[in-house]
Amino acid sequence: MDGHLFSACPALRGLSDQTALWHGLRDRDVDFVATDHCPFTREQKMWTGSFADLPYGLPGVETLLPILYSEGVGKGRLAITDIPRLLCEGPARRYGLFGKKGALEVGFDADLVVFDPFFEWEISATVLHMRTDFSPYEGWHITGKPMFTISRGEVIVENGELTAREGRGAFLFRD
């Protein structure tokens, strides 16, 4: 009855497509993983009888790394070394930011995530920080969670709490 909440483009796929995607990620046929992150609420995604009026997209930015780790590395579908390639290097290369972002090298921004690979938790919209009242992963048991996020050498998230000062963002020109 709540299928309308899961409207996305492309549409959610079946097991054979999921398996092919995991193989593509592992075999380097897929360069990176991202999310369209659309934190709609249940009210915003209310079914009115028409797909033309239904907003497409799902909340996912906060759950991307934990799910990729838990479902990928934790279940043997990916190597731990695939994570930085898929979430950092690949997007930086694709969007012309490599040289400033995407690697731990001299001259790059000091962007890091301190990740606890043993932290066990259950995904629930009530514990997430997104402006939504549902999660497509509601009830999933996950192993692994970011503890700290460091941007340009500054801790901006600590134990799930935002510590960044307003206005610290910087526009990056792409190659």
**Residue 126: DSSP 8-state:** T
Say what the pLDDT of residue 1 is: 79
Say what the pLDDT of residue 67 is: 97
Q: Indicate whether 155 pLDDT > 90.
A: yes
Query: Span 116-134, mean pLDDT?
Result: 94
Say what the pLDDT of residue 76 is: 97
43-99 confidence digits (pLDDT tens): 999 988 888 888 999 999 999 999 999 999 999 999 999 999 999 999 999 999 999
Q: How confident is the model at residue 12 (pLDDT cuts 50, 70, 90)?
A: confident
Q: Domains, the chain, ranges and CATH? A: 3-162 (3.20.20.140)
| Residue written as token pair 């301190």 | 114
Taking residue 136's Cβ as centre, other Cβ atoms within 10 Å add up to 16
| Residue written as token pair 């801790």 | 155
Nearest to 82 by CA among 90, 64, 109, 148: 90
Alpha helices, DSSP H, located in 48-147: 64-67, 82-84, 90-94
| Residue written as token pair 């910087």 | 170
Say what the pLDDT of residue 50 is: 86
Q: Indicate whether 3 pLDDT > 90.
A: no
Q: Which long-range contacts (CB under 8 A, 24 or more apart) does 19-27 make?
A: 22/72, 22/77, 22/78, 25/72, 25/77, 25/78, 25/82, 25/86, 26/77, 26/78, 26/79, 26/82
Type of residue found at 65: L
Q: Indicate whether 137 pLDDT > 90.
A: yes
